[in-house]
Amino acid sequence: MENNEQKKVVLSLIQPTGTPTLGNYLGAFKNWKAMSQEYACLFGAADLHSITVRTAPADLKKRTIDLFAILLAMGLDPEKNIIFCQSHVPAHAQLGWILDCYTQFGEASRMTQFKDKSAKHADNVNLGLFTYPTLMAADILLYNADYVPIGADQKQHLELTRDIANRFNGLYGDFFKVPEPFIGKAGARVMSLQEPAKKMSKSDTNQKSFILVTEDPNAIVKKIKSAVTDSEARVYYSEDKPGVSNLMEIYSACTGKSFDEITAEFEGKGYGDFKAAVAEAVVEELRPLQTEYAKLIKDKAYLEECARNGAEKASRIADRTVRKCMKKVGFWQY
């Protein structure tokens, strides 16, 4: 990171809520390696965010380590990028509290994700769920991020981050960099294999609807062969053929072929041939990641070393930001 001072800064944190899906990989992760060549990137496991939903301690730890290993297995170089765990950098929580005091109750209460998650977890509507967006703002503003890759469900949170930064800057002078959404190469939009009208999600109760990036190749083949299609038995892209179009999207993302090329390739062939080709392409796409992950997850010492180094690099930047921020606010420092 120190060598990338002239590059624009991109920050992307992911919650360790379970193994990422093929949708996460093709929709976002696949582009990160290329992105990391052009930008000064910070990637991390947002484990502080994940405790808004009650999680067994052993599960939280395992999921965080797994996600950290997957980030490395994707080919993200820990020497060229900062790869860290959010809870290893106390400045996130520290700045989060300060920003709580510069966020209006009405702003926070308008966040649609709070409403959605409150309804989903009615037995545990905690304050962390409510102040989640200000912690996210702290994540971003700590590192003077120029860009943040976000999905549609996070647009509102980034807007709040921008509002908080502008409010603070209006009070204390130009301090926080106001971040922009990252508009990079569009990733594939991968839908459920069983209900192609909705996005692929690991929380789906139907195990056949999603593929995890670490899933056994034989299981991947079975799931794709059982994917919903239609009765027409012709491969072409159309809104009227959501199942086939979803498989085409996946095949295109894995092979680089256009929809027209895919249609031509399977002209006169049935869905059996098509699904077999898609399954093979997915298995081959994930093979390097799976091979590297299998090696890394056994090397506890290396993972801990990378996490420690990442936290140290992240903390150097984050601690500096917090100290300057506290000075602006008027805290007594020595």
pLDDT at 186: 65
pLDDT at 184: 66
Look at residue 192 and tell me if it is in a domain.
Answer: no
Is 199 a catalytic site residue?
A: yes
Instruction: Please report, in angstroms and rounded to a whole number, the separation of the first and last CA atoms in the chain.
Output: 28
The verdict on 155 and 250 lying in the same domain is: no
The verdict on 222 and 178 lying in the same domain is: no
Look at residue 156 and tell me if it is in a domain.
Answer: yes
Look at residue 200 and tell me if it is in a domain.
Answer: no
The verdict on 105 and 247 lying in the same domain is: no
pLDDT at 177: 96
- Choose, from 7, 33, 202, 328, the residue flagged as catalytic: 202
- Supply the range of the domain harboring residue 158: 2-187+300-329
Q: What CATH number corresponds to the domain at position 110?
A: 3.40.50.620
pLDDT at 1: 47
> Token pair for residue 213?
């990036």
Is 8 a catalytic site residue?
A: no
pLDDT at 2: 47
Look at residue 278 and tell me if it is in a domain.
Answer: yes
Look at residue 38 and tell me if it is in a domain.
Answer: yes
Nearest to 12 by CA among 111, 66, 83, 90: 83
141-151 residues labelled b (16+ CB within 10 A) or e (exposed): bbbebbbbbbe
pTM of the model: 0.90
Is 202 a catalytic site residue?
A: yes
Q: Domain count for the chain, please give it.
A: 2
- Choose, from 199, 223, 275, 313, the residue flagged as catalytic: 199
Measured over the CA atoms of residue 119, residue 120, residue 126 and residue 132, the dihedral's sign is negative
pLDDT at 115: 72
The radius of gyration of the chain's CA atoms, rounded to the nearest angstrom, is 21
d(CA 284, CA 97): 45
The verdict on 223 and 275 lying in the same domain is: yes
The verdict on 137 and 94 lying in the same domain is: yes
Positions in the chain whose pLDDT score sits under 50: 1-3
> Token pair for residue 19?
């193994």
pLDDT at 119: 73
> Token pair for residue 40?
């000064």
Summarised one tens digit per residue, pLDDT across range 207-220 is: 999 999 999 999 99
- Choose, from 117, 223, 241, 313, the residue flagged as catalytic: 117
Q: What CATH number corresponds to the domain at position 273?
A: 1.10.240.10
Which amino acid, residue 107? E
The verdict on 274 and 304 lying in the same domain is: no
Look at residue 199 and tell me if it is in a domain.
Answer: no
The verdict on 87 and 171 lying in the same domain is: yes
